[in-house]
Copies of this chain bind each other. A is one copy, B any other.
Amino acid sequence: MKRPTLEAVAARAGVSKSSVSRVVNGQSTVTPEIRELVLAAVRELGYLPNPAARSLVTRRTDAIALIVSDPPGGLVSDDPMFSAVVRAASRTLEAAGKQVVLTLASSDEARERAGRYVAAGHVDGVLLVSMHGADPLPAMLARTGVPVVSHGRPALAAGLPYVDHDHTGGAALAVRHLIDSGRRRVATITGPLDMTAARDRLAAYRDTVREAGRRPIAAIGDFTRVSGAQAMRELLADEPDVDAVFAANDLMAIGALRALREAGRRVPGDVAVAGYDDIEAALYTDPPLTTVRSPMDEQAEAGARLLLGLVDGGPAEPVVLPTSLIVRESA
């Protein structure tokens, strides 16, 4: 009726609890004979170790929390990058025998709860996706003593190990491409400026444009499609002779394409458009989008690896991955 315990297996196999434990945990100091006996009993009884009992004594859970600290709008979890991150991190962590506990913390209450969850010892480590500057969660988690790796350089909570990619280099690549192809008035549509990613991309845009002796022209978006369209309309109103736009992500670039079409401007004839992220949809726009590939899967995988190392007492070296420009037809 009830589930077999280690003791039941021991009785069945005619050996001690200790021996069963040793076999189940793969220790080497067991004679093959006894090992076989135990394995047979395990099979017959369908024994599976009770995880609660095990982690009570080992103080390990073999679980890793993937916490997505999301503003109420659900910005991050709506982003196409999100499922890439989840997928890559899951794959890596599960290959290492860790269970992934997904936590979408989209309210302060949920963040509070996530913090308590981690502090209570439910998980061995945390892979944190938190992009907004004022987010209290990174600091909160750092205080728990549980290993934490941030996916993306955190705004505050410096000192938290993180994995990121080279936003500055990537954005510079795109902007320089626009300038090199002969565009005179190169504008940008930024992401929300409390995100380090958005700030880095904007700074790189500014530097690159100024280096070329041009004046920066910026409209602020929030990484959503609609905000991209809105920002593009503003740009067209304020700077009618704009002939190139670097949008800080593809979603906003897609919005910009739409706004340009509505305004009767042709892409890339009248206005060149470059995006950032290389999401799948960038392939299917009209025209296909020139964009910066942000290696989300590799970044998530690197984050997972860094975390796994930390959990095993390894070092906390931040990782920064390179980016590359994908040239298509929009610029």
Contacts and interface: CB of A to CB of B under 8 A. Distances in A.
A276 B84 CA distance: 23
Interface stretch (A118-126, A168-176, A230-238): A118-126
21 contacts: A48-B121, A50-B56, A51-B52, A51-B120, A51-B121, A52-B53, A52-B121, A53-B56, A77-B87, A78-B83, A80-B80, A86-B86, A87-B104, A90-B102, A90-B104, A91-B104, A91-B106, A94-B103, A94-B113, A101-B102, A225-B284
Interface string A156-178: 00000000000000000000000
Contacts of A78: 83
Contacts of A3: 121
Given A83-B83, A284-B254, A94 B110 contact: yes
Contact of A116 (B48, B61, B102): B48
A286 B284 contact: no
Task: Please report whether the interface of chain A is mostly helix, strand, loop or mixed according to DSSP.
Answer: helix
Contacts of A53: 52, 56
B104 A122 contact: no
Contacts of A51: 52, 120-122
B83 A50 contact: no
A103 B110 contact: no
A174 B38 CA distance: 60
A104 B83 CA distance: 11
Contacts of A49: 120
A44 B86 CA distance: 37
A244 interface: no
Interface string A68-96: 00000010011010110011001100100
Interface in A250-289: 254, 258, 281, 284, 286
